A and B are shown apart, each in its own frame.
Chain A
Amino acid sequence: MAEAALPGSSSTASAAARRAVQNINAPLWRNAIFIAPYLLFFVTLLVVPLFWGIWLSLHKADAFGTGRFVGLDNYLRLFRDKIFLQAVGNTFYFVFLTVPALALIGLFLALALNRKTKTAAALRAVYFSSSVLSVTIVTLIWRIVFIGNFGLLATIYGWFGATAPAFLSDPKLTMIGIAIATVWWCIGLPMMLFLSALQQVPQEIYEAAALDNASRWRTLWHITLPSIRRTFVLVIIIEIVLQFQLFGQARLMTQGGPNNVSKPIVLYIYEAAFTKWDLGLGAAASEILFILIMIAALAQYFISRRKGVEG
């Protein structure tokens, strides 16, 4: 059974050689030595903490240790906590603000820069460059753009004698300000994903369309966009998973304020666990985030599986 699973065993070698190879392809415990070192870290630092986290979420736990079993009490506390519900709402609002913008701008940039010129290559490099910066530098840059009376925005508005919108302090605008900084920071990834999808569209289709004198818009609408539809869905899901984990920008730009309007779930988890040391509550909140992300990841799995069936 195991031999059959390995296509390499049917090589062009002689019968004797094939026998030797087959012997060596037999399942042996010894072979697992190669994966054992990684597996050690995987189990101790990922699998065990994952289940431990679930266990913690069912207990009353603080900095001094784990107390008694409380069942779903931590979860009930979360659903009665207005600030948690607000954090969930804020996170969805943030995802709603950033994900469509990232997908559409990313698609536009990929369509515009999918050409062989040096200018296009340089622009691709520019658009991806912000993605390699850490969140600290990104927020430092954007705070200095948005900040009150001496930021870049305030200076530009000042030239026209106007007052800049207060992206860091107006409750209606803080999440939008964080979203702008995030789109600036993250735009490289969707652009790259769309570019690699565009390059997989067969050229013959475009040549046929050119022969039919199809207009630019018709070609885009009827050929390009349908060909990359699956990538579009994948970009949306990947970005939902990533943007659900908003933390650094909110903590560094607004500390979740004013009045918790920019507090996302991860900041709530961080504060519950490492400021109030209510570890059980923090663990319960992270399980809820996990479930939300898992739903998006499962969607991705089923879409990529359908790809396998079709192609």
Chain B
Amino acid sequence: MSSVSSGMVGRSTGDRIILILAISLALLMMAPIAWVVAMSLKDNKELMTDMNSVFHAPYTIINYINILATSSVFRWILNSVIVSGTLTIFTLVLSSLAGYGFARLNFPFRNTLFVIVLLGLAVPEQAVLIARHQLFSWLKFHNTYHGLILPGLAAPFGVFLMTQYFRAIPKELDEAALLDNASRFKIFWKVLLPLTLPAQATLGIFTFLTSWNDYLWPLISGTKKEMYTLTIGIASSQTNFAQSEGLGFLMSQAVFAGAPILILYLFFQKYIVTAVSGAAVR
């Protein structure tokens, strides 16, 4: 990465002040998370009598043990894994095939179709929500896994990303294979697909994150408790919030739900950054 500061006046007092400001802001940003984690480690009764008890021992993991014993969290996690996992795999397959088709092959109306797909990027979810809900009601798709997965497969972003990526690969590669009489599918599968692995990782993580965090569609389609995704499930257990009963338990659910995605983020940070920059090119 090219550094602006090196091109400027060098390390100065002003530079240091800016960095300290950025660090302070980061600490301020982390404070709410630390507060929630600390609360999740406190006994519920103690929290009710004195909030400042958050700052000192005793801490307990009883809330986390209670999750294992009583909460539906595991079912919701399973649902989220099934929905986001399946959606991610299918998005990768569909987008790679379509990206290859749009970038490397010719067929009637190709350019028109590509423009129509790109226009799809501008359609917000809310514009299709009610019609989709009605369609799925008639098909009796609500409260099923395919009901939760299918709408995500229509998103054009992956096709756009993969088309761009396939276009950037030198044409000579598949032309050489064509001369060896390899079929179009074989070239796609054996020659080009292995070269797209970084893009696959980027698109996969992007799709998984978006689906894992989706709130609107699972809220109206998966209305039975056993079909909740983690996002909806955690939201549903917030109803007892006001009484301030089980606050520590509620916070432990938040930590339990947020931690996996944060850990995933730390592992795949590099690709997430690529995905964001890739979206910026658009």
Is the Cβ of B124 less than 8 Å from the Cβ of A34? Answer: no
Is the Cβ of A133 less than 8 Å from the Cβ of B262? Answer: yes
Q: A6-B106, A34-B98, A137-B258 are in contact. Are A289 and B124 (CB under 8 A)?
A: yes
A104 at the interface (CB under 8 A from B): no
Q: A8-B175, A206-B7, A210-B8 are in contact. Are A53 and B188 (CB under 8 A)?
A: no
- Could you tell me which residues of chain A, from 170 to 207, have a CB within 8 Å of some CB in chain B? 184, 188-189, 192-193, 196-199, 201, 203, 206-207
Q: Looking at the assembled complex, report how far the CB atom of B192 sits from the nearest CB atom of chain A, in whole angstroms.
A: 12
- Chain B residue nearest in CB terms to A279: B130
Q: Looking at the assembled complex, report how far the CB atom of B81 sits from the nearest CB atom of chain A, in whole angstroms.
A: 14
Is the Cβ of A193 less than 8 Å from the Cβ of B280? Answer: yes
B85 at the interface (CB under 8 A from A): no
Bound CA span A133–B6, Å: 34
B51 at the interface (CB under 8 A from A): yes
Contact of B120 among A20, A46, A119 (CB under 8 A): A46
For A79, the chain B residues whose CB sits under 8 A away are none
- Could you tell me which residues of chain B, from 219 to 275, have a CB within 8 Å of some CB in chain A? 220, 230-232, 234-235, 238, 241, 244, 247, 250-251, 254, 257-258, 261-262, 264-266, 269, 272-273
For B120, the chain A residues whose CB sits under 8 A away are 42, 46-47
Tell which of B32-40, B58-66, B67-75, B196-204 binds the partner.
B32-40
A50 at the interface (CB under 8 A from B): yes
Q: A46-B154, A247-B216 are in contact. Are A32 and B101 (CB under 8 A)?
A: yes
For A150, the chain B residues whose CB sits under 8 A away are 47, 51, 244, 247
For A184, the chain B residues whose CB sits under 8 A away are 29, 32
Is the Cβ of A35 less than 8 Å from the Cβ of B97? Answer: yes
Q: Looking at the assembled complex, report how far the CB atom of B21 sits from the nearest CB atom of chain A, in whole angstroms.
A: 7
B4 at the interface (CB under 8 A from A): yes
For A133, the chain B residues whose CB sits under 8 A away are 213, 258, 261-262
- Could you tell me which residues of chain B, from 82 to 119, have a CB within 8 Å of some CB in chain A? 93-95, 97-98, 100-102, 105-108, 110-111, 113, 116-117
Contact of B124 among A20, A134, A140, A290 (CB under 8 A): A290
Interface centre among B12, B97, B124 (most CB of A within 10 A): B124
Bound CA span A42–B251, Å: 39
Is the Cβ of B175 less than 8 Å from the Cβ of A142? Answer: no
Contact of B107 among A32, A125, A206 (CB under 8 A): A32
- Could you tell me which residues of chain A, from 127 to 160, have a CB within 8 Å of some CB in chain B? 127-130, 132-137, 139-145, 147, 150, 152, 154-155, 158
Is the Cβ of B18 less than 8 Å from the Cβ of A199? Answer: no
B195 at the interface (CB under 8 A from A): no
B276 at the interface (CB under 8 A from A): yes
Q: Looking at the assembled complex, report how far the CB atom of A75 sits from the nearest CB atom of chain B, in whole angstroms.
A: 15
Bound CA span A74–B100, Å: 43
For B97, the chain A residues whose CB sits under 8 A away are 34-35, 37-38
Contact of A196 among B95, B133, B213, B277 (CB under 8 A): B277
For B209, the chain A residues whose CB sits under 8 A away are 132
Is the Cβ of A137 less than 8 Å from the Cβ of B175? Answer: no
Q: Looking at the assembled complex, report how far the CB atom of A130 sits from the nearest CB atom of chain B, in whole angstroms.
A: 7
Number of residue pairs spanning A and B whose beta carbons lie under 8 angstroms apart: 307
For B193, the chain A residues whose CB sits under 8 A away are none
- Chain B residue nearest in CB terms to A247: B216
Is the Cβ of B235 less than 8 Å from the Cβ of A136? Answer: yes
- Chain A residue nearest in CB terms to B253: A140
A309 at the interface (CB under 8 A from B): no
Q: Looking at the assembled complex, report how far the CB atom of B168 sits from the nearest CB atom of chain A, in whole angstroms.
A: 12
B122 at the interface (CB under 8 A from A): yes
Is the Cβ of A116 less than 8 Å from the Cβ of B3? Answer: yes
Q: A115-B4, A133-B261 are in contact. Are A152 and B220 (CB under 8 A)?
A: no
- Could you tell me which residues of chain B, from 132 to 152, have a CB within 8 Å of some CB in chain A? 132-135, 150-151
Is the Cβ of A42 less than 8 Å from the Cβ of B156? Answer: yes
Is the Cβ of A13 less than 8 Å from the Cβ of B216? Answer: no
Is the Cβ of A49 less than 8 Å from the Cβ of B215? Answer: no
For B12, the chain A residues whose CB sits under 8 A away are 216
A97 at the interface (CB under 8 A from B): no
A219 at the interface (CB under 8 A from B): yes
A252 at the interface (CB under 8 A from B): yes
Q: A42-B156, A137-B257, A216-B12 are in contact. Are A11 and B131 (CB under 8 A)?
A: no
B22 at the interface (CB under 8 A from A): yes
A293 at the interface (CB under 8 A from B): yes
For A49, the chain B residues whose CB sits under 8 A away are 128, 131-132, 135
B45 at the interface (CB under 8 A from A): no
Bound CA span A133–B230, Å: 12
Bound CA span A33–B183, Å: 13
A–B pairs, 8, beta carbons within 8 Å: A20-B179, A27-B106, A37-B98, A128-B273, A132-B272, A141-B33, A192-B277, A286-B126
Interface residues of B (CB under 8 A from A): 1-9, 12, 14, 18-19, 21-23, 25-26, 29-33, 35-36, 39, 47, 51-52, 54, 93-95, 97-98, 100-102, 105-108, 110-111, 113, 116-117, 120, 122-135, 150-151, 153-154, 156, 159, 171-172, 175, 178-179, 184, 188, 209, 212-216, 220, 230-232, 234-235, 238, 241, 244, 247, 250-251, 254, 257-258, 261-262, 264-266, 269, 272-273, 276-277, 280, 282
